[in-house]
Chain A
Amino acid sequence: MTAPPLAAAPPRLRRPSVLAALTVVIVGAAHVLAWRGADVSPAALAEGWEGMRDFLGEAVPPDLSWSTVVRPGLDAALVTLYIGLLGTTLSVPFALVLAVLGARTTTPNAFVQQAARSVLSFLRAVPDVVFALIFVTAVGLGPFAGVLALVFHNTGVMGKLWSEAMEETDPGVREALRTNGASGVQVTSHAVLPAVLPQLAGLLLYRLDVNVRSSLVLGLVGAGGIGFLINQSIRLFRFDEMLTYILIVLALVIAVDQLSSAVRRRIGR
């Protein structure tokens, strides 16, 4: 008597489907087109390395004179931090209202929901640099234009992230409060918001981190801060000054990043 035959194991590799093959071909073709369209040329990089050597030669050592470079650099970095901070904080009320209106779990009215989502999409789609250029024409060169730009763009991004967090809340708690006779607003304030508050705070800190980095770029288009100084020193070919500023930026970005992730870790617990 022999043991009953075992069912054969399924084959190690399944035959790829037509769809999978087609996907590979299309993605491959897209990369070839992109390589040509972006003028990618390793040869140009190899030939032009001397340019980079000269550039770096001029940048190193950084210009560390206190009164003309380091001090103004630190002051400007502080302004960059202020732009990021205000841009994030001032967008909180707008992001909160639009997030609540745009989330399925807090707004049953489909029309209101769609309207809120459209506003968020628009604000997200317009880059903060474009907002900055627009606001520079209104309030002139300077940090305030940067703050306004961040408020608009960050409302779009943070509102969307918050809205998604609200949609992922436990339907059970909402249902339970409904049976208590709670209204839609009460369900939002007693079931949805308390559940997502830690997540909202975490996302806020993440956005602060991103916004401080963006406010650097905003400086390049005239919206104040240390980005403005970097732009200036490049135009004047003062690459040693530029390197000092970049080192300051590096320190600022790392500090904000570390702080934000440390706080997020504590909240997550």
Chain B
Amino acid sequence: MTTATPDTTTAALSVRGLRKTFAGRTVLDGIDLDVRAGELVAVLGANGSGKSTALRCVIGLERPDAGSVRLHGEETAGQAGRRPAAVSRRAAMVFQHIHLVPRRSALDNVCAGALGRLPLRRSLTPLLFPRELREEAMACLARVGLADRAGEAVARLSGGQQQRVAVARALCQRADVLLADEPVASLDPAATTQVLDLLGVLARDEGLAVAAVLHQPALARRHADRIVGLRGGGLVIDAPAGDVPASALDDLYSHGPGPEGTTP
């Protein structure tokens, strides 16, 4: 367990000069981003501003063209070669569309978070999962408040509950950097509040470094410690949530050519 006091010396996640181009279109144009243990950072930006791509580069689902991604000071080999598994496993991701196995129980889904550290003979089917893992997964479910639904098939849970199971799966990965790609975009307001409250608790009380791409500035203001704004592939806002003026947020979504663009 990491300390509850924010670590100000080394950021848990440190991104430098991240670049990514898709078919000649520059999506990320040299992004620098730090997320410290104990803080919830909201990443805002219009559609296509590169916010999801940035997270996907960090977790290794996209390979950046240039730049470095460090977890607790250790390079995860962003653009070249395979990622050292033990390092990259310290970061986990939850998705807008949740991506659990609907037919399996919440507990089995949470156990799947540990697949990276299990040998094949203990992980070919959920029947082979070690007893300690099942206990650890129960503890993860308890942390997201769903221990009582452990045996139920995920398909029978509500959207908000499913997203919390996905968070528990990330916890079972023993990640201390948690990335969330539009985690509440498909949820109703009550579930949205529950999930974002949970992310806040994990950051402030349990010391995780949490970065969440959000689509609503109001949610970012209410739940995040810090707001990062992306526009045209570059970082245009990086400030404590309370210090960001509303006009700056409006500019993120205006239809200009880029950070310096003006709209009538």
Q: A53-61, A114-122, A124-132, A176-184: which lies at the B interface? A: A176-184
Report the bound CA distance from A54 to B207 in whole Å: 91
Measured between beta carbons, the chain A residues less than 8 angstroms from B60 are: 178-179
| A180 and B99 form a contact (CB under 8 A) | no
Taking CB atoms and an 8 Å cut-off, the chain A residues in 174-210 that contact chain B are 175-183, 185-186, 189-191, 194-195, 197-198
Task: Using CB atoms, name the residue of chain B closest to A174.
Answer: B99
Q: B16-24, B112-120, B142-150: which lies at the A interface? A: B112-120
| A180 and B169 form a contact (CB under 8 A) | yes
Neighbour of A186 across the interface among B85, B101, B115, CB < 8 A: B115
| B115 and A190 form a contact (CB under 8 A) | yes
Could you say which interface size class chain B belongs to?
Answer: 20 to 34
Say yes or no for B239: interface residue by CB 8 A criterion: no
Known: A181-B85, A181-B173. A170 touches B99 (CB 8 A): yes
- Looking at the assembled complex, report how far the CB atom of B87 sits from the nearest CB atom of chain A, in whole angstroms: 11
Neighbour of A179 across the interface among B93, B97, B117, B126, CB < 8 A: B93
Known: A170-B99, A197-B103. A189 touches B124 (CB 8 A): yes
Measured between beta carbons, the chain A residues less than 8 angstroms from B99 are: 170, 172-173, 175-176
Measured between beta carbons, the chain A residues less than 8 angstroms from B118 are: 186
Known: A172-B99, A173-B100, A173-B101. A179 touches B59 (CB 8 A): yes
Neighbour of A177 across the interface among B85, B112, B120, CB < 8 A: B112
Measured between beta carbons, the chain A residues less than 8 angstroms from B156 are: none
Report the bound CA distance from A173 to B109 in whole Å: 11
| B124 and A194 form a contact (CB under 8 A) | no
Taking CB atoms and an 8 Å cut-off, the chain B residues in 104-135 that contact chain A are 104, 112-118, 120, 123-126
| B103 and A182 form a contact (CB under 8 A) | no
Measured between beta carbons, the chain B residues less than 8 angstroms from A179 are: 59-61, 92-93
Report the bound CA distance from A195 to B22 in whole Å: 31
Task: Using CB atoms, name the residue of chain A closest to B170.
Answer: A180
Taking CB atoms and an 8 Å cut-off, the chain B residues in 43-91 that contact chain A are 59-61, 85, 88-89
- Looking at the assembled complex, report how far the CB atom of A35 sits from the nearest CB atom of chain B, in whole angstroms: 52
Neighbour of B112 across the interface among A175, A182, A195, A198, CB < 8 A: A182
Task: Using CB atoms, name the residue of chain A closest to B103.
Answer: A194
Taking CB atoms and an 8 Å cut-off, the chain B residues in 184-229 that contact chain A are none
| B59 and A181 form a contact (CB under 8 A) | no
- Looking at the assembled complex, report how far the CB atom of A186 sits from the nearest CB atom of chain B, in whole angstroms: 5
Report the bound CA distance from A268 to B115 in whole Å: 29
Neighbour of B93 across the interface among A173, A176, A182, A191, CB < 8 A: A176
Neighbour of B61 across the interface among A170, A175, A186, CB < 8 A: A175
Task: Using CB atoms, name the residue of chain B closest to A185.
Answer: B120
Report the bound CA distance from A190 to B95 in whole Å: 18
- Looking at the assembled complex, report how far the CB atom of A52 sits from the nearest CB atom of chain B, in whole angstroms: 54
Known: A181-B117, A181-B173. A191 touches B101 (CB 8 A): yes
Measured between beta carbons, the chain B residues less than 8 angstroms from A175 are: 61, 95, 99
Measured between beta carbons, the chain B residues less than 8 angstroms from A195 are: 101, 103
| A190 and B93 form a contact (CB under 8 A) | no
Measured between beta carbons, the chain B residues less than 8 angstroms from A186 are: 115, 118, 120, 123-124
Taking CB atoms and an 8 Å cut-off, the chain B residues in 136-163 that contact chain A are none
Report the bound CA distance from A170 to B102 in whole Å: 11
Task: Using CB atoms, name the residue of chain B closest to A193.
Answer: B125
Report the bound CA distance from A178 to B169 in whole Å: 13
Q: Which residue, A177, A179, A180, A198, has most C-beta atoms of chain B within 10 A?
A: A179
Measured between beta carbons, the chain A residues less than 8 angstroms from B123 are: 186, 189-190
Measured between beta carbons, the chain A residues less than 8 angstroms from B126 are: 190
Measured between beta carbons, the chain A residues less than 8 angstroms from B166 are: 176
Task: Using CB atoms, name the residue of chain B closest to A191.
Answer: B101
Measured between beta carbons, the chain A residues less than 8 angstroms from B100 are: 173, 176
| A190 and B101 form a contact (CB under 8 A) | yes
Report the bound CA distance from A252 to B103 in whole Å: 34
Task: Using CB atoms, name the residue of chain B closest to A171.
Answer: B99
- Looking at the assembled complex, report how far the CB atom of B238 sits from the nearest CB atom of chain A, in whole angstroms: 25
Report the bound CA distance from A34 to B85 in whole Å: 62
Known: A186-B123, A189-B125. A181 touches B89 (CB 8 A): yes
- Looking at the assembled complex, report how far the CB atom of A183 sits from the nearest CB atom of chain B, in whole angstroms: 7
A sample of 12 inter-chain contacts (CB < 8 A) reads A170-B99, A175-B95, A176-B95, A176-B99, A179-B60, A179-B93, A180-B173, A182-B116, A185-B120, A186-B123, A186-B124, A191-B101
The 10 closest A-B pairs by CB, nearest first: A181-B116, A182-B115, A176-B99, A172-B99, A181-B89, A186-B115, A173-B99, A179-B93, A194-B101, A179-B59
The interface of chain B, by Cβ under 8 A from chain A, is 59-61, 85, 88-89, 92-93, 95, 97, 99-101, 103-104, 112-118, 120, 123-126, 166, 169, 173
Q: In the complex, given contacts A177-B115, A180-B113, A189-B125, what are 9 additional A-B residue pairs having Cβ atoms less than 8 angstroms apart?
A: A170-B99, A172-B97, A175-B99, A176-B169, A179-B59, A180-B114, A181-B117, A182-B112, A194-B103
